[in-house]
Chains A and B, each alone.
Chain A
Amino acid sequence: MNVREHTMSRISALFASVVGMTPTRGEATLPQDVSGWDSLAHIRFVYAIEREFGCELPEEFLVAGKPLGEFAAAVLGAQGA
């Protein structure tokens, strides 16, 4: 498992913990695909990621809309990987 896959795995676990559901379409999962992924859950998800990885996601990730897979790239980018 490479770094990106490992990061994605941890993000998926955080997603399941916060939203209470597994991502239905993997990395392509969008908020409209998961009924519990509303704006409040999204904020809690972002906070969980930032605490888990010790980084700050770019501002555009604070608003729900991006597919799950982009969070891994954002985390690695924020970590300077």
Chain B
Amino acid sequence: MGKDIVITMDQVAQFGASCGDRNPLHLDTDYGHTTPFGQTVVHGTLAAIACLARLAAAPLAGMRELHMDFHQPVMPGTMYRLHLETDEQQTAVRLRLGDMPVLSVVGSDQISVLDDRALEPVRNADEPEASLPECWRSTARVLDPETLAGVGLEEGSYRIDGCRMRALLKQLGAEAVPFHLVKVLSWASYWTGMHTPGRDALLARVAVRLNRTSGSAPYADSDHALYQVERPSIHRRTGLVSLDAGLQLSGWAVNIAIDSLLRRCAPQATCESGAQYLSPSNRLADKFMVVVGGSRGLGRAITLALVQQGATVLVIHCQSPERVAEMQRNAGPNGHRILSLMRDASDIEALVAALNAQATSIDALILAAAPVIPSLPLHHSTIGPCLRYVDQAVRLVWAPLAASVNWMKVGSALVVLSSSAVEEPPALWPHYVSAKMAIEGLARHAAKQWPWHVAIVRPPRLWTEMSSGPTGAIGTIPVELVAAHIASQLVAYQANNGIPSLVHQTTMLSARDVALPVSTLNSRDEQYAAR
């Protein structure tokens, strides 16, 4: 039988303050907005503790081995369903959103071998008790693959704020979860989020083996623990970081194996990277263009490509003034032709006022803003978030288009960014495909009803900061290539004929007016071109 579970942002904050994992991905709303999740996420081990809270005290007390798999991020305020499965050998608690696995916690009262890794109990160090918050890092360590590969064995003492943690457990109804286990999971969160890999970590798996110790513990009846962390290993091509650690705490020697991902930043388009695909020119001189969502990802690449062709571009962005300033610097002598307008693109009244103040005819409107895409299965429990996503995504196109109508003229261009996902819908993106189809419908209406040239662009998967995953650029095409195609087509657009142009990946890769440097065309691009 399933039970519903919701973890609040307040509980996330309490957990961070109790265990020391103050990674901004969990606690900093502004930072969360810049990640592929678009918001802060729950500490994985907090969600695991909340899952364990659904078990009875007896099996919890007898647990000697725990395996936690973090399939999807847990979002604060989202309702998940918890399923319990037990047999003679193990107890499994699985967290799901619809039928999508989010988190699995499998416990056993038997010791087995963890991933074939031979783990030794931590040595009995003789260290003074650490006090809070001195034993915690104040900010999350930032490691790249090179520096991470140089990290050696690390050891020290750790403690949690036991009083605060117990209050949180009570609030979660998790008083029956053994406190030594809470300490272990707290350390795993702290170490992953604050030390290794640190700020850019994403927890993937934690395996814990609990061994009773008969000797006197160094810090009996305290919230302290001693840790020893072996040198981590990293799979450079994916950013997968694996480490083994030993913890010693009151009455327990604990072996922990942690797998996490070192999230990688997608490269930002620059004038230089864009010039590899489209040589600078003045073909768009004296043109005034508006790029909504033009400060990052594909929108940024489009902005820079247009400016490099001589256009003046008004970038409408949500909260990225420093990004636009950086783009202006990157554009050098052309930087003054990048104009910044910080507005919520879904706020029609604010946009109308801003464009009226600008009082300039728009030669081209490029609608590139889109919300971050959460994974949501088609299920009765996800109707709310799916429809909210569709509403938000459509507003980000509809509002700026409606606000611009009076400033568009005969022959203006309207470019709407859709996606190849409408042709091959991904399993967990029904909301995304629905939103893009709605947006395409609006574009078709505009092509029929207004004297503009309308283009619907369906780029394939791109590697941007909003879509950045462990496989990085694999299976993607560069944003600069799509931007170059759009910019070159804006030069050549002919009179409106009531039907929108449909641009998809094959069109982009076969365009003769876009330079495709051989050095940037790897096998995956050739595969796309061959389709």
Contacts and interface: CB of A to CB of B under 8 A. Distances in A.
Contacts, number: 58
A43 B281 CA distance: 43
Nearest to A40: B204
Contacts of A50: 235
Given A39-B470, A47-B240, A63 B475 contact: yes
Interface in B438-483: 469-471, 474-475
B70 interface: yes
Most chain B CB atoms below 10 A, which of A18, A43, A56: A43
Contact of B471 (A20, A35, A56, A63): A63
Given A36-B101, A62-B238, A63-B474, A41 B69 contact: yes
B346 interface: no
A35 B235 contact: no
A79 interface: no
B44 to A, nearest CB: 11
Contacts of A59: 237, 474, 523-524
A47 B69 contact: no
Contacts of B469: 39
Nearest to B523: A59
B428 to A, nearest CB: 10
Given A36-B69, A40-B261, A62 B101 contact: no
B116 A17 contact: yes
Interface in B230-246: 235, 237-238, 240, 242
A43 B475 contact: no
A50 B235 CA distance: 9
Please provide the 4 A-B residue pairs with the shortest distance between their CB atoms, ordered closest to farther. Answer: A47-B235, A43-B238, A40-B204, A62-B471
24 contacts: A20-B69, A20-B104, A35-B101, A36-B71, A38-B71, A39-B469, A39-B471, A40-B204, A40-B261, A41-B69, A41-B71, A43-B261, A44-B205, A46-B235, A47-B238, A47-B240, A59-B237, A59-B474, A59-B523, A62-B238, A62-B471, A62-B474, A63-B471, A63-B475
Given A39-B469, A40-B69, A40-B205, 18 more contacts: A17-B115, A20-B104, A36-B71, A38-B101, A39-B471, A40-B70, A40-B470, A43-B204, A43-B471, A44-B240, A50-B235, A59-B237, A59-B474, A59-B524, A60-B524, A62-B238, A63-B474, A63-B475
